[in-house]
Amino acid sequence: MLSESKSTNAVITNSGLSMNRISVNYRFAVLHHFILSGMFVFIHLFIPFSNRALGAISSEKPNVIIIFTDDQGSVDLNCYGAKDLITPHMDSIARRGIRFTQFYASAPVCSPSRAGMLTGRFPARAGVPGNVSSHHGKSGMPTEQITIAEMMQQAGYQTAHIGKWHLGYTPDTMPNGQGFETSFGHMGGCIDNYSHFFYWNGPNRHDLWQNGKEVWRDGAFFPDLMVEQCQDYIRQAGDKPFFLYWAINVPHYPLQGNEKWRKTYAHLSSPRDKYAAFVSTMDDCIGEVLATLDACQLREKTIIIFQSDHGHSHEERTFGGGGSAGPYRGAKFSLFEGGIRVPAMISWPGTIAEGEVRDQLATGCDWLPTISALTGAPLPAHHLDGKNLKAVIESSTAKSPHENFYWQIGKSWAIREGDWKLLGNPRDTSQQTPLGKENQIFLVDLSKDIGEKKNLATQFPEKVDHLKKIYIQYQKSLSE
């Protein structure tokens, strides 16, 4: 188990030491035999072979890449049903891995969703119940939290963050203070992708950082910069395994797709045309990084995890929409399905199944314990709310590790248990149907009403009471 001290040294297992000793002893035993036999020519051939074998032993742990997209709608990939988008590279992750159909973000907005994913804890337990400030000098996720990066460091991994952060803007709470040896990206919630300025809550300010130092790349398209950083990192990784957290700031506003895709989607109505162009621009970027893995012969040695941070935006800054939740009600900021049910996939060719689907309930909090199970990295010693998905990944018939799950954003909260879902003080940012006072407690049976149209609270008061008790238990656990 991983202690909560950020200064804990990396652990080298006894089994790893034994393996290296066995390899070295074997090498010299065979060399000694060849020398005694007078077969010196074999020495020349054997030494480079033995060095390669030792290198393979040291790098047998899989690399891990998390691709975390921003404001991508519940169904906005071809493999999730989109008919008007072109997303072959994101779809290829599902084709070469496993796609989840009931996967939930840990929150319907940026910062808490990222905190939940990186710590394996409910956002409130991780100290990030809502969005953190995009102002330089403002803190964010408490430093006593243990991130996936810190967990992976304990297992001997290199760690890198590329892209959006939005979890703190002080040295201690920026990526280099939270377990990432290398970091490149913006610290606030969003930037203009060419000037790298934050324009949405004045005064305007520049926000592009590399390893804690401000850098300037005037006019360079930020998605292209992220691709370059990812490619360079992968190529230079060497034999030591790496963990790369690629937090793509797309398709979050501003919707700045490139010219190729603007022309391709010119026939779509606004704002879908702008959103679609940005999604396919992102898909090209992901394709370039996947191609780099292939070129480096690392694809089968790398676990790729893909997830959107939450549902699509209906904010004015994104022209009032553009994304799609398909059959689901809600969007970003909402605990209806469209705000929290997200596309999610995992791929590890040659090790886990390819082209399969999993219908079990799973969440963004589950990635930390799942990565631990797949890589052998030591789990944090404190309480986790995420569960290990290894059994689900291995079998479509395995039970979800969650009997129930809990979400909260502001005064809105939700509990899901089985097919039943109870929402308290719900908010519908998709504005599909007005919500009156009688809907402050909203009960749905998702097996019969995936669009969450009909409130069953008055018909099933015993179910409401049961789910309320679970909510109260979760609330109590957060204060313990």
Q: Is the Cβ–Cβ distance between 97 and 82 less than 8 Å?
A: no
User: Tell me, what amino acid is at 409?
Assistant: I
pLDDT of residue 1: 58
pLDDT of residue 6: 53
pLDDT of residue 20: 39
What distance in Å separates the CA atoms of residue 281 and residue 292, rounded to the nearest whole number?
17
DSSP 220: -
User: How many other β-carbons are positioned within 10 Å of the β-carbon of residue 243?
Assistant: 28
DSSP 433: S
Q: Is the Cβ–Cβ distance between 250 and 323 less than 8 Å?
A: no
pLDDT in tens, the chain (480 residues): 555 445 443 333 333 333 333 333 333 333 343 333 343 333 333 333 333 333 333 348 999 999 999 999 999 999 999 999 999 999 999 999 999 999 999 999 999 999 999 999 999 999 999 999 999 999 999 999 999 999 999 999 999 999 999 999 999 999 999 999 999 999 999 999 999 999 988 889 999 999 999 999 999 999 999 999 999 999 999 999 999 999 999 999 999 999 999 999 999 999 999 999 999 999 999 999 999 999 999 999 999 999 999 999 999 999 999 999 999 999 999 999 999 999 999 999 999 999 999 999 999 999 999 999 999 999 999 999 999 999 999 999 999 999 999 999 999 999 999 999 999 999 999 999 899 999 999 999 999 999 999 999 999 999 999 999 999 999 999 987
Cis peptide bond upstream of 62, omega within 30 = no
- Using DSSP's 3-state secondary structure scheme, residue 19 falls into helix
pLDDT of residue 51: 35
Q: In residues, how long is the chain?
A: 480
pTM of the full structure = 0.88
Phi, psi (5° rounding) for residue 368?
-60, -55
CA angle 422, 426, 428 (to 5 degrees): 125
CA distances in angstroms from 422 to 125, 338, 406, 426, 468, listed in the order given: 21, 15, 10, 9, 8
Residue 243, strand partner residues:
64, 159
DSSP 120: S
